[in-house]
Structure 1
């Protein structure tokens, strides 16, 4: 950086305040010392000296140590291992109404709400139970006991969390069947607990925070999905129709976003083939999934959207290429297959013509009957009732 001129010390200080790094930078220290020499007055010199003092303090502050290593053993070993599986930099906040922030884990534990699961992985099934006796909701529903319950002592509402022995991957890197099974289990538990279906699970009442009464079942080992499913009725989930399966709550949002996004990507990728096209393709997939996510009543976290988009973009870019598309067309559009499709189309057309001929014959018979009934003195309304057609149809027939 160029040595500041006597008239540029103040401008350099304002630029330093605007662009300063969170970590110590020796170049900033050298430039600050030069700027102090060219300070025009005492006020400017004092501001520069204070900035230099803050920079030296930052220099003395240790920078290493990761978020999880800065947690106490009480936090790491307690709370059913919650902080062992928590994200290293989770979303957190002291008031969800005013937004959320990404912070290191050792900072997030001081917030009243934090993200329970890392992006793309589900270690905990979490529910928001808005009842005054929410602590006992699992007993009334006949479910297994949750490892964690964080209760609001003012109204009795609580967040309950069940830890999974094997985390479920919520992106297409993992297998689809475990994800669908986890979604079915979560949906059934949601109904059994009469929990809030609009709760996204993105933020959980922070275990051990002073704002909540934390109930820990420390002697209970993590559950498998099969363990949780034993006390649930999954038949209602299995019998859902295709339209009902568009799920916008809990893990269903991940499945819905993934299913819609991947089907779009299978055809859309052909517009991005070319040199250095992957980065543009990944941005397009992320934008598409963000649009889908925005339609949910409670959207997923941006980190989950990006993780799913990355998985879809990588798989499609690797597996759907011009060569593979040409091979697919060659395998599915042989002369025999095309001839069979033509025969089917001809049969369908012939069936359509026959059906139209029958409809015309029926209509002609009804029209003739309508003329007979009007000669008998019936009104158009009465004729429509007799023939089970609209009155306007009868009027058109009699013109």
Structure 2
């Protein structure tokens, strides 16, 4: 064990987390912060959720919380997990345990008091570190050297860890994309390839969660390339993956100062036509909003290539700001690095420089010219709007009157 590292984290000494640790570090029991929060502290990045492991049994955790006036929720009590809520901050408290039998996401567990055994049942070395309230780091699996090297490595035999839970294949790639550096661990990569067919046993919701998190990670480009080479993306998406456009999409987002967007990146990686978007929506069980957005991006995105400013304004008016930007960025990503980025940048920032006016003509303008209410009136309004767009959105009375007169004359001529 390597426990020479001591962390100076103020929230271990005071605040909600310190209160929970003090509650559980008493009368023969011990509690430590474990997992991602420790990893993130060592990497110098925000901790996010703080999970705590304890020797105390779940019922004892609940009993102590009740005495201290702390709300407890038995979120996974059959696996030893109780959530305590302190000052609106939730903390997952899990009793030390070991798996006596594993099958997929489910496992039979036995509670215990063995910190070493608990560490060895986890997935990756960098996720198995724990820290006590004094800031002492406990490392039973050589996680500290892997933290220093930013290496994501399975604990023990990779094949065995994966067989326990096939979701660990996706977690291997996602965690490397978020926290790793360089190429993925070779032994882990080969084990994932050997177990690739196990992905079919995973729920679409679980796959969706891991894929979308991976796509917004800093290392998404390199990891996506490794996954494509290993045949994982074909298995997940059921279609072709385009790693080049993904890299171009990420570059475009960064150039425009946009936040990383998982759905936009998914489109760049796996959507060439709307049929791709619909297949992904089913395979990943996307939300209705996500599916609709992906479908909108895939619809004739190529029409936004080679525009002039007048046509760009018409597209922005028709599509709305979000869909216009999404579809334009997909077209830009598909064009790759082979075109001048300046026009793409100009068109992408058009919504910040220009707001589309509201179509000023009304049904009454045409009824006054003798067009009766009904289907013909709707058709006339559509033709007039098209003419207004082609004329570059005029608002002066003379131009609008001319559009009305020409549209009425056209419809009258067609009806004769």
Query: Which band: TM-score by shorter chain?
Result: under 0.3
Instruction: Mark the structure with the bigger radius of gyration.
Output: 1
- Output the TM-score relative to the length of structure 2: 0.21
User: Normalising to structure 1: TM-score of the pair?
Assistant: 0.22
Q: Which has the higher contact order (CA 8 A, sep 6+)?
A: 1
